[in-house]
Amino acid sequence: MNAAPSPIRIEDPSDTRIAAFMSIKERDLTGRQGRFIAEGTVVLRMLAAAHRSGCGVAAEAILLLENRLAGLAELLVQFPFDVPVFVADARVFDAIAGFNMHRGVLALGRSDTMPRRDALLAALPANSLVLAACGISNHDNMGSLFRNAAAFGVDAVLMDASSCDPMYRKSIRVSVGSVLTLPFAREGTAAELIGRLQAAGFAIWGLSPRGEIDVAEIPPAPRTALLVGTEGEGLPEAILSAVRTARIRQRSGLDSLNVAMAAGIALHQVASANGRI
């Protein structure tokens, strides 16, 4: 295990060494040289695990409220020695972050070496469970989808390009860091994604309130992909007509479940049927 680096005290919020942490409430690092911001102790622990695994996610720097330093000593040694640890008092920390709901733990990471969709598909094992998403626009829902995917043994999350970026700060936080450790790719159209999954031998099931069978009746298969659509409208007819569909039984009078909730119920059913949990 590495020795923890000596913390670097920050006295001035405008210190250029912590420029990437400035005003993260008003802006997000997504799309800026593959960088992202992670918040909280649990997410920091997941970042450490991702960094060690060599999955394409790495830490660049850590910023802590000074009174959090001692309690995180055992976690900090899990990062390489060359990842700097900055500390600041509450006044300076709040001025850097731009808000005071950060729990005193922030990390700067990058994800610029993650595999593309086709490479990720090619590397999946013979028995695989994939969560596929089309048009997800809400970052809370995206984070919840990843949290559910991790809980039920999903091997990869694949999204079309119209879905929001899961490396957005809020998505990472809601996923409790699962975004950092679960393989994913976001590119292309929904039709292209379905075509790639079919070519890779996946049985694809689209979730819809009008699905042809109940999710409990989805048969076990070596490779299964569960497909969810955008909030509100769900999967478009063109997509539903190209795949098998399944529904979740519920009481009448409600249009549909939240997409993350529906995915969690269906993933639990599919994972159970395939002996993954």
In 23-50, which positions are buried (b, 16+ CB within 10 angstroms) versus exposed (e)?
ebeeebbbeeebbbbbbbeebbbbbbeb
101: phi then psi, degrees, rounded to nearest 5 = -115, 40
Question: What 3-state DSSP class applies to 230?
Answer: strand
The structural domains of the chain, with segments of one domain joined by +, span 8-110, 117-273
Non-local (6+) Cβ contacts of 277 within 8 A are: 152, 153, 268, 271
Helices 259-273 and 139-151, interaxial angle, to 10°?
Answer: 10
Residue type, 105: V
Q: Could you report the per-residue pLDDT of 230-275, keeping only the tens digit for each?
A: 887 889 999 999 999 999 998 877 767 899 999 999 999 999 999 9
- pLDDT recorded at residue 268: 97
129: phi then psi, degrees, rounded to nearest 5 = -125, 125
> What tokens were used for 124?
């999946």
* Cα–Cα distance measured from residue 98 to residue 94, given in angstroms and rounded to the nearest whole number: 6
> Comparing C-alpha atoms, which of 103, 94, 90, 114 is closest to residue 21?
94
- Out of 1.10.10.10, 1.10.443.10, 3.30.1330.30, 1.20.1730.10, the CATH code matching 8-110 is 3.30.1330.30
Give me the tens of pLDDT residue by residue for the chain, a chain 277 residues long.
566 668 999 999 999 999 888 867 545 555 456 788 889 999 999 999 998 887 889 999 999 999 999 999 999 999 999 999 999 999 999 888 876 655 799 999 988 778 899 999 999 999 999 999 999 999 999 999 999 999 999 999 999 999 999 998 889 999 999 999 999 999 999 999 999 999 999 999 999 998 999 999 999 999 999 999 988 788 999 999 999 999 999 887 776 789 999 999 999 999 999 999 8
Superfamily of chain region 117-273: SPOUT methyltransferase, trefoil knot domain (3.40.1280.10)
The pTM assigned to this predicted structure is 0.91
